[in-house]
Amino acid sequence: MIKEDILKKVQLEQKDEREDVIITKSFRAGWLGVTIVMVVLLLLRAYFQQSSEDIIIILAAHLSASSFYQYTKMPDKKAYLIFGIINLVFLIIQFYTLLSDFGVF
């Protein structure tokens, strides 16, 4: 393909890769901010000797979902699958602990 053909094809697609990169980076920055706030809340709850299973569940759900998504996009990288499974198991254990704190089990 020559340059003009590639340029026409890109213009017809009307896809702005710069916008995609910015959106991806903004989600990453947003989740980094959420994670920092959750860690601070975890530390405060530990200091005041309060239960923090709910915050841990949210963090584990985020890590598990993002790991599984990354694995679906890059199936050759098995570390994402392993990390996702570990986080999913941790999530289930924490959820069970939370429910037992509420007296469900």
Q: Do residues 56 and 93 both lie within one domain?
A: yes
| Domain-ending residue, one of 50, 67, 82 | 50
Structural domain boundaries, residue 95: 51-105
Q: Do residues 57 and 103 both lie within one domain?
A: yes
Helix, coil or strand: residue 12: helix
- Do residues 92 and 56 make contact, with C-beta atoms less than 8 angstroms apart? no
- Do residues 68 and 81 make contact, with C-beta atoms less than 8 angstroms apart? yes
pLDDT tens digits, one per residue of 26-53: 988 998 999 899 999 999 999 999 988 8
Q: What is the Cα–Cα distance from 49 to 30, expressed in whole angstroms? A: 28
Q: Do residues 73 and 99 both lie within one domain?
A: yes
pLDDT tens digits, one per residue of 46-104: 999 998 888 989 989 988 999 999 999 999 999 999 999 999 999 999 999 989 988 88
Q: Do residues 21 and 58 both lie within one domain?
A: no
Q: How many CB atoms lie within 10 A of CB 67?
A: 20
Q: Using alpha carbons, select from 93, 96, 11, 28 the residue that is nearest to residue 62.
A: 28
